[in-house]
Amino acid sequence: MSIRVGTAPDSWGIWFPNDPKQILWQKCLDEMKEAGYKTLELGPWGYLPTDPITLKEELSKRGLELIATTLMTDIVFINNLQPIYDTLDEILSLQHHFSSAKYLVLIDGMYTDLFTGNLIAKKELNNDEWNQMIDNIKKIVDYVKARSDIQVVFHPHAETHIETEEEIERLLRDVDIDLCFDTGHHMYSGGDPITFIQKHKNRIKYLHLKDCNKSIQEKTKENKWAFAQSVQSGVMCDPESGDIDFVQLTKILESIGYKGEAVVEQDMYPAPTDTPFKIAKQTLNYLKKIGLAEE
């Protein structure tokens, strides 16, 4: 078995539309191509060109294909969804120009500040707040469905309101939405990604592939590091260097007949200029070697 494995700007340390610590988008795309990738996620809205003609030209000349867009936003403590709908209109307007871009990855906003670790929202939701979040997810899914055949997939993410296995399973019971399952974030949040994939194989349509260093994750808890500090310390790492058994993961994906998309998405911010390309190329070569990524 082998599946198509793409990449994302996140693997080049891209967390924001504009940031002086980030490389130019042209260099990012050039290195994606040089590393051997054929598909990519769009990344934070506004980093890569949002004009469809420009983006199509830039991707085409590098042999790259767009497969998904991403929206990370507060979906709990918001009653007026119009700002989200306005952003979705922009994203879908771009995405409609790419028949290959079949997914929109939805992520809840973090309840901690990325750089200080301070709470910026409640961590634990009561039943009313949970139900409000579920209702908002349903509305977002319906909004996209009414305007396109793009599938919204939900991405459980560290330090958001859907991060633990218990929270993910509650989500799956409460709303008809499939997952963009992130192996690294799942382990970071205390879960076992391999057994979870086996258990919920029918609800996982899209994969983010990254490893997690559990010793650094334990130090993160002990020292109450902010997520960004944990990332800078190497908690999210390339396959083969962390604690997820990617050989076993490959066997599990084969056994369940996984046929969805996959993206290497290694959290890295800020990224040293010469580091992402080396890791991205090494990671893809490793995934090919173990039979997870197609040649």
Tell me how crowded residue 2 is: count the other CB atoms within 10 A of its CB: 15
Cβ atoms within 10 Å, residue 254: 14
- The model's pTM: 0.97
Dihedral-angle region of residue 243 (phi above 0 means left; psi in -120 to 50 means alpha; beta otherwise): alpha
Name residue, tokens 């290694």: 266
Cis peptide bond N-terminal to 17, omega within 30: no
For the stretch 57-105, pLDDT in tens is 999 999 999 999 999 999 999 989 999 999 999 999 999 999 999 999 9
- Point out which residues pair with 209 in neighbouring strands: 264
Over residues 116-140, the mean pLDDT reads 98
1.10.10.10, 3.30.465.10, 3.30.70.520, 3.20.20.150: CATH of 5-289: 3.20.20.150
pLDDT exceeds 80 at position 23: yes
Decide: 225 and 199 in contact? Cβ < 8 Å.
no
Delimit the domains of the chain by residue range.
5-289
Give the closest residue to 193 by CA, choosing from 180, 175, 177, 178. 180
Q: How many CA atoms lie within 13 A of 139 on its CB side?
A: 15
Q: Tell me 77's DSSP state.
A: S
The predicted pLDDT at position 2 comes to 82
pLDDT at 83: 97
Mean pLDDT of 122-148: 98
Mind listing the pLDDT tens digit for each residue in 237-256? 999 899 999 999 999 999 99
In the prediction, which pLDDT does 273 show? 87
